[in-house]
Amino acid sequence: MLGTEYIEAGAAGRSKAGRLGYDGTMSTMLKGLVIGRSTGRCAETEAELAVGTPCIAALVRPLATETRTDRPVLERLDFDPAAWEAGDAARRLGDRLLCWWRTEIPDPGSKRQMFVDDETLVDLFERMVAEEEADPGRRAFRFVLGLILLRRRKIRMVDRRRDGDDDVWVLKRVGGGDDAPLWSVTDPRLSDEDADAIAEQLSTILADEG
């Protein structure tokens, strides 16, 4: 389980209360969806997209005006490829857009709904690190994504340091050379249950290894 690996990677020295956070609210916050489900409609034209139809899938931050308590950490938007390429959807999404890829509209009953290659995930991680994330859920998502990329040997840890009360992990792309940027992420002090819960939902977008 990823939660066990997380603890073994350096969180084992904390008490359970420390992993949950100072007020113990992290688990409650992460009980909902991490990644939103496909709506089966083109976000540009509102046209219905049948199961198995080729599409562009985009992961975006929820709108700042979205107030639903069950809103996902990241939303999935689907686009008809012709509408995506002919329109200006990426520009209009602006900073909300984190990454996109070509896939197919999933069967609502299937467990694995999206397949993203590792390089796309590394790009997603890099963008989330580069931009200051105020939302605790997105910070947790970013950290667990980093753990998964560490396990898949796409990034590596080059340092760990203390910054006040925070434990900061310094990471780098594998094979990036001496000039590759260093990415610093703060350990959000997840419980092993929360780390596993996020990883399970992330598994729906991971391309199979090998």
In this structure, the answer to whether residues 129 and 195 fall within a common structural domain is yes
Tens of pLDDT along 26-42? 443 444 556 777 888 99
162: three-class secondary structure by DSSP: strand
Q: Which residues of the chain fall below pLDDT 70? A: 1-34, 64-71, 110-115, 132-134, 204-210
In this structure, the answer to whether residues 67 and 100 fall within a common structural domain is yes
User: Domain containing 132: what range?
Assistant: 2-22+119-202
* Cβ atoms of residues 22 and 46 within 8 Å: no
Q: What pLDDT shows up at residue 178? A: 84
In this structure, the answer to whether residues 148 and 84 fall within a common structural domain is no
Is 124 domain-assigned? yes
Cβ neighbours of residue 168 closer than 8 Å, sequence gap 6 or more:
160, 161, 162, 184, 185, 186, 187
Amino acid at site 205: I
User: What are the phi and psi torsion angles at 155 (to 5°)?
Assistant: -135, 165
End residue of a domain, out of 66, 86, 113: 113
Task: Supply the pTM of this predicted model.
Answer: 0.67
Strands 166-173 and 97-104: what pairing?
A: unpaired
Q: What pLDDT shows up at residue 17? A: 36
Q: What pLDDT shows up at residue 172? A: 93
In this structure, the answer to whether residues 189 and 130 fall within a common structural domain is yes
In this structure, the answer to whether residues 8 and 71 fall within a common structural domain is no
